[in-house]
């Protein structure tokens, strides 16, 4: 059938379709154009215009075939006429029939005692791409006795284009006899849903919840419903999107004007937890969920003891650090206000703030350290751990064996070990780990059972180096441990080089360097490498363990050197550091020359002082008691040697007696204590003619003993003796030998050895004079007359005093 479109007299053509201008998507049809003047016409589509290949229907009409249309489109025709006329055109719309509405439901709300408000919604289906609208048809059946509904009246409910909801009001008495139906329409046609009884698709409006009133384990929530129902569901959550239903439990009902208010109890809650609540009710269908309300339960005393760990004591065993893990929210049961520590031996209490998780305490061996967490309601159960020993006891078990660390995925490692054979039956394990050199801040640990032999540690930071240990724990104390080092989940070459300092000493250089900053290590450092260059010739590099910070390069030849360093990880060697230059000089003999220049003059001064009698006298005065009593052997004296040749050796008293009795000399006592002796010396044979005797003046000074001598020396002074007694003349014929010589002083060496010792004795006199004995000081003497000094020796010290 032809559908023409009339155009004004000003158009050059007319255009029409073989169908209506609104068609379903996917349809096929023809578009025709008839021209009013003789001309060559053309057909176009869309904007801007696109020429279409048309076919001739007759001499004045052309057409095009349109197949499987998918969208709205415009066709136009044009012809060159005289006078010139306007082209003609036609818009074609494409769309779908409405789909059958789905999920029809109505919300039932009581308004007062006589009326209800019903609001229905449905799903319209797919977009039709055409103007469409829906109509809610409401059929009210009147109640006809107790048997049911009878009679009906149908009326349209609210409807509007593009909406999928409508509402109406009704009497509360007729609510059970109302049915509803939805019709969807557009230009292509209409569809209708089945008819539903309102009571079958109606649900009550969402409940309105009041603010919860909570204790530590339950909350009471007020609920207001527009329609009282027997079925209510309340849900709660402490985490987003994880809801838990609570059993229905009405604890109280208060009738109010707007509807009954019910109070529902929600139990099985955790203390000090923030909860959200929601509710819904049901007639035949469930209502929508109410708006959320929230509340927090009250606190309780912490339910669980802390996880406490004491890794090791300080190196000086004066303190140890106690660590603990903060309780989880469920275990804390409230806001933690602080911690309390008690050491059993001293019973000292430490109070720690809530933001701290470790504390240093005074060390005590094999003591119990107890830790509590505190909130507003009380303390947690006590957590007790035993402090470590100073030394490993013989009865303690072996540490874990064969500790291995392997990668276990991104930022994770697996730590495994073998159980020691001597492990106690009830022993367990603790695995600790921390960033290298950062134990105090980063210490973490996990407790494992006796039968465990591995654990997976997660959350390690990439390009960081970790270390730790596996402990055998018995009675809350570590009884053996094995350490592991150099654990990293990723590494690359260090991004920096060590900062180097050098110190040259002779033919060696001491190299020191600082540790790389943590962020520039890029993993676990394995070695440092020292490079040395001499006169543009590079020497073999030196590898140093990563733990060292100092290295000495010895036996360097004199030259100028350049030195630099690098650091390496498992990911490679880092960049070279800045070069430092130094020189090794040729060795000089300056030190021996300086030593001779300083020591030589000192020795010369000492020699000069040694030959000064005044210095020696001063020395004897101040250091007399420090000199040992060096008593020469009388057998080596000249007098003793002469006795073997017929000469006589006499004591001092014998000399005095002999002078007085035999020589006829007289003893004159000087008023000041001097004693003058006149001695007559003669040969023992008496054959020679007597000569005039030589006089010897002897002065005896009666002086008190020096205060530095001991009492024993004062009570028992040693007897001075005369080594030789001779005349000024060199002739031996004038020597007088006493018949009262003391045999004890005569050496047993015999005459053959005496002559050889004379020279030695004379050479030894000077050293003895420099170190006098105490004996001369007890009986100082002064000789006068012709008695020669080298003829008499009364101790070595007496001789020097007399000379002085």
Residue 725: asked if its preceding bond is cis (omega within 30°), the reply is: no
List the strands of the sheet with 675-678, edge to edge.
667-669, 675-678, 695-700, 781-783
* CA distance linking residue 638 with residue 643, whole number of Å: 9
Return the closest-CA partner of residue 544 out of 511, 577, 505.
511
Confidence of residue 659 (pLDDT cuts 50, 70, 90): very low
In the 8-state DSSP scheme, what is residue 743?
G
What is residue 380's predicted lDDT score, i.e. its pLDDT?
Answer: 95
What is residue 682's predicted lDDT score, i.e. its pLDDT?
Answer: 39
Return the closest-CA partner of residue 694 out of 736, 737, 652, 653.
736
**Residues across the chain:** 804
399 has a pLDDT exceeding 70: yes
Confidence of residue 144 (pLDDT cuts 50, 70, 90): low
Alpha helix (H) ranges present in 215-358?
329-332
- Whole-model pTM: value is 0.53
Return the closest-CA partner of residue 615 out of 774, 786, 770, 762.
770
List the structure tokens of 13: 């053509």
- For residues 183 and 664, the model is more confident at 183
Return the closest-CA partner of residue 527 out of 574, 457, 562.
574
In order, the DSSP letters of 135-159 are EEEEEEEEE-GGG-EEEEEEEE---
List the structure tokens of 290: 């109410």
List the structure tokens of 509: 């250089």
**Cβ contacts of 612 within 8 Å, gap of 6 or more:** none
What is residue 711's predicted lDDT score, i.e. its pLDDT?
Answer: 39
Percentage of residues in the chain having pLDDT higher than 70: 68
List the strands of the sheet with 50-52, edge to edge.
22-24, 88-95, 73-78, 42-45, 50-52
Mean pLDDT of 285-289: 89
What is residue 624's predicted lDDT score, i.e. its pLDDT?
Answer: 63
List the structure tokens of 409: 């995925």
What is residue 742's predicted lDDT score, i.e. its pLDDT?
Answer: 38
Residue 706's CB is within 10 A of a number of other CB atoms, namely 15
Mean pLDDT of 4-19: 71
What is residue 637's predicted lDDT score, i.e. its pLDDT?
Answer: 65
Mean pLDDT of 441-467: 89
What is residue 79's predicted lDDT score, i.e. its pLDDT?
Answer: 86
By DSSP bridging, strand 477-487 and strand 413-418 are: unpaired
Instruction: Evaluate whether 320 touches 361 at the Cβ level (below 8 Å).
Output: yes
Task: Determine the Cα angle at 798 with ends 797 and 804, to 5°.
Answer: 90
Return the closest-CA partner of residue 388 out of 306, 470, 310.
310
Mean pLDDT of 719-724: 39
Mean pLDDT score across all residues of the chain: 75
Instruction: Evaluate whether 631 touches 776 at the Cβ level (below 8 Å).
Output: no
Confidence of residue 154 (pLDDT cuts 50, 70, 90): low
Confidence of residue 622 (pLDDT cuts 50, 70, 90): low
* CA distance linking residue 341 with residue 339, whole number of Å: 7
524 has a pLDDT exceeding 50: yes
Q: pLDDT tens for residues 245-268? A: 887 565 655 555 445 688 889 988
Instruction: Evaluate whether 450 touches 427 at the Cβ level (below 8 Å).
Output: yes
List the structure tokens of 173: 């008495």
Rg (CA), the chain: 64
Instruction: Evaluate whether 445 touches 466 at the Cβ level (below 8 Å).
Output: no
**Cβ contacts of 261 within 8 Å, gap of 6 or more:** 210, 222, 223, 224, 253, 254, 255
What is residue 723's predicted lDDT score, i.e. its pLDDT?
Answer: 38
Task: Determine the Cα angle at 599 with ends 594 and 605, to 5°.
Answer: 140
* CA distance linking residue 617 with residue 623, whole number of Å: 10
What is residue 642's predicted lDDT score, i.e. its pLDDT?
Answer: 60
* CA distance linking residue 712 with residue 320, whole number of Å: 64
* CA distance linking residue 446 with residue 434, whole number of Å: 12
Mean pLDDT of 147-162: 58
Distinct helix (H) and strand (E) counts, the chain: 12, 55
Q: pLDDT tens for residues 41-50? A: 889 998 888 8
* CA distance linking residue 742 with residue 724, whole number of Å: 13
Mean pLDDT of 238-251: 79
What are the φ/ψ torsions at residue 358 (nearest 5 degrees)?
-155, 160
Q: pLDDT tens for residues 732-746? A: 444 333 334 333 433
Q: pLDDT tens for residues 539-561? A: 899 999 988 999 999 988 888 99
Q: Is 139 exposed, middle or buried (0-12, 13-18, 19+ CB in 10 A)?
A: middle
* CA distance linking residue 707 with residue 781, whole number of Å: 18
What are the DSSP E strand ranges found in 575-618? Answer: 580-584
* CA distance linking residue 691 with residue 685, whole number of Å: 14
- For residues 209 and 142, the model is more confident at 209
Q: How many CA atoms lie within 13 A of 319 on its CB side?
A: 6
Mean pLDDT of 492-520: 90
What is residue 335's predicted lDDT score, i.e. its pLDDT?
Answer: 93
What is residue 710's predicted lDDT score, i.e. its pLDDT?
Answer: 37
List the structure tokens of 148: 């049911």
Q: pLDDT tens for residues 100-116? A: 999 898 888 877 667 88
Q: pLDDT tens for residues 197-237? A: 888 888 888 999 999 999 999 999 999 887 777 788 999 99
Residue 56: asked if its preceding bond is cis (omega within 30°), the reply is: no
What are the Cα distances from residue 145, in Å, to 149, 151, 617?
8, 12, 157
Instruction: Evaluate whether 264 touches 249 at the Cβ level (below 8 Å).
Output: yes
155 has a pLDDT exceeding 60: yes
Instruction: Evaluate whether 679 touches 665 at the Cβ level (below 8 Å).
Output: yes
Quick one: three-class SS letters along 357-394? Answer: CEEEEECCCCCEEEEEEEECCEECCCEEEECCCCCCCC
Percentage of residues in the chain having pLDDT higher than 90: 28
Confidence of residue 476 (pLDDT cuts 50, 70, 90): confident
* CA distance linking residue 372 with residue 384, whole number of Å: 9
What is residue 390's predicted lDDT score, i.e. its pLDDT?
Answer: 55
What is residue 422's predicted lDDT score, i.e. its pLDDT?
Answer: 67
* CA distance linking residue 276 with residue 274, whole number of Å: 7
Confidence of residue 299 (pLDDT cuts 50, 70, 90): very high
Report the range out of 74-83, 89-98, 479-488, 593-602 with the highest average pLDDT.
Answer: 89-98
- For residues 275 and 768, the model is more confident at 275
What is residue 543's predicted lDDT score, i.e. its pLDDT?
Answer: 93
Q: How many CA atoms lie within 13 A of 129 on its CB side?
A: 12
Mean pLDDT of 47-69: 89
Per-residue burial over 297-335, b if 16 or more Cβ lie within 10 Å, else e, is bebbbbeebbbbbbbebeeeeeebbbbbebbeeeebbbe
403 has a pLDDT exceeding 80: yes
* CA distance linking residue 244 with residue 239, whole number of Å: 10
């Amino acid at each position: 059938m032809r559908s023409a479109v009339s155009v004004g007299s000003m158009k050059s053509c007319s255009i029409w379709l073989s169908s209506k201008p609104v068609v379903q998507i996917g349809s096929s049809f023809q578009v025709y154009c008839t021209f009013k003047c003789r001309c060559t016409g053309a057909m176009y589509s869309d904007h801007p215009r696109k020429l279409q290949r048309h076919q001739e229907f007759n001499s004045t009409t052309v057409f095009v075939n349109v197949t499987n249309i998918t969208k709205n489109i415009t066709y136009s025709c044009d012809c060159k006429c005289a006078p010139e006329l306007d082209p003609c055109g036609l818009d074609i719309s494409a769309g779908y029939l409405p789909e059958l509405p789905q999920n029809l439901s109505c919300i039932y709300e009581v308004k007062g005692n006589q009326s209800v408000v019903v609001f229905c919604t449905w799903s319209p289906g797919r977009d039709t791409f055409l103007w469409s609208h829906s109509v809610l048809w409401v059929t009210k059946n009147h109640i006809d006795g107790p048997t049911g509904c009878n009679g009906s009246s149908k009326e349209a409910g609210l409807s509007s284009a593009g909406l999928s909801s409508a509402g109406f009001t009704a009497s509360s008495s007729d609510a059970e006899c109302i049915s509803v139906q939805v019709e969807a329409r557009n230009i292509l046609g209409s569809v209708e849903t089945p008819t539903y009884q309102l009571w079958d698709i109606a649900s009550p409006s969402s409940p309105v919840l009041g603010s919860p009133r909570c204790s530590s384990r339950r909350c009471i929530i007020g609920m207001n419903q527009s329609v009282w129902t027997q079925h209510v569901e309340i849900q709660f959550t402490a985490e987003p999107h994880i809801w838990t239903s609570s059993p229905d439990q009405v604890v109280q009902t208060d009738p109010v004007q707007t509807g009954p208010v019910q109070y529902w109890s929600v139990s099985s809650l955790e203390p000090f937890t923030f909860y959200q609540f929601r509710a819904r009710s049901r007639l035949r269908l469930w209502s929508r969920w109410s708006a959320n309300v929230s509340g927090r339960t009250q606190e309780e005393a912490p339910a669980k003891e802390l996880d406490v760990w004491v890794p090791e004591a300080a190196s000086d065993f004066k303190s140890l650090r106690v660590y603990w893990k903060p309780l989880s929210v469920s275990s804390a049961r409230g806001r933690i206000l602080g911690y309390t520590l008690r050491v059993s031996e001293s019973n000292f209490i430490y109070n720690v703030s809530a933001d701290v998780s470790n504390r240093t305490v005074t060390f005590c061996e094999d003591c119990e350290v107890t830790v509590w967490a505190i909130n507003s309601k009380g303390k947690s159960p006590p957590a007790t751990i035993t402090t470590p020993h100073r030394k490993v006891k013989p009865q303690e078990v072996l540490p874990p064996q064969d500790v291995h660390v392997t990668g276990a995925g991104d930022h994770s490692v697996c730590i495994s070990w073998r159980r020691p054979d001597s492990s106690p039956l009830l022993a367990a394990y603790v695995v600790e780990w921390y960033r290298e050199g950062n134990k105090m801040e980063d210490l973490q640990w996990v407790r494992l059972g006796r039968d465990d032999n591995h654990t997976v540690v997660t959350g390690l930071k990439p390009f960081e180096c970790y270390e730790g240990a596996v402990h055998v724990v018995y009675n809350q104390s570590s009884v053996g441990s094995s350490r592991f080092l150099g654990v990293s989940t990723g590494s690359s070459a260090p991004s920096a080089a060590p900062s180097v300092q050098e110190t040259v000493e002779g033919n060696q250089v001491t190299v020191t360097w600082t540790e790389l900053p943590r962020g520039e290590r890029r993993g676990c450092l394995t070695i440092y490498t020292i490079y040395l260059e001499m006169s543009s010739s590079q020497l073999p590099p030196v590898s140093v363990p990563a733990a060292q910070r100092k290295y000495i390069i010895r036996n360097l030849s004199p030259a100028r050197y350049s030195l630099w360093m690098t650091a390496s990880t498992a990911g490679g060697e880092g960049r070279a550091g800045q070069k430092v230059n130094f020189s090794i000089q040729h060795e000089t003999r300056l030190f021996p020359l300086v030593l001779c220049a300083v020591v030589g003059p000192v020795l010369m001064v000492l020699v000069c002082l040694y030959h000064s009698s005044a210095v020696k006298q001063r020395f004897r005065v101040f250091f007399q008691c420090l000199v040992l009593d060096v008593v020469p052997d009388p057998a080596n004296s000249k007098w003793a040697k002469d006795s073997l040749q017929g000469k006589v050796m006499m004591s001092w008293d014998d000399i005095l007696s002999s002078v007085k009795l035999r020589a006829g000399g007289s003893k004159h006592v000087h008023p000041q204590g001097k004693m003058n002796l006149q001695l007559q010396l003669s040969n023992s044979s008496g054959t020679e003619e007597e000569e005039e005797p030589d006089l010897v003046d002897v002065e005896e000074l009666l002086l008190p003993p020096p205060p530095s001598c001991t009492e024993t020396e004062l009570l028992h002074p040693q007897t001075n003796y005369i080594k030789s007694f001779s005349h000024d003349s060199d002739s031996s014929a004038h020597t007088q030998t006493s018949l009262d010589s003391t045999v004890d002083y005569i050496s047993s060496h015999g005459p053959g050895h005496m002559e050889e010792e004379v020279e030695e004795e004379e050479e030894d006199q000077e050293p003895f004079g420099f170190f006098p004995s105490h004996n001369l000081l007890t009986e100082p003497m002064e000789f006068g007359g012709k008695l020669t000094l080298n003829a008499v020796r009364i101790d070595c010290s007496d001789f020097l005093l007399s000379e002085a």
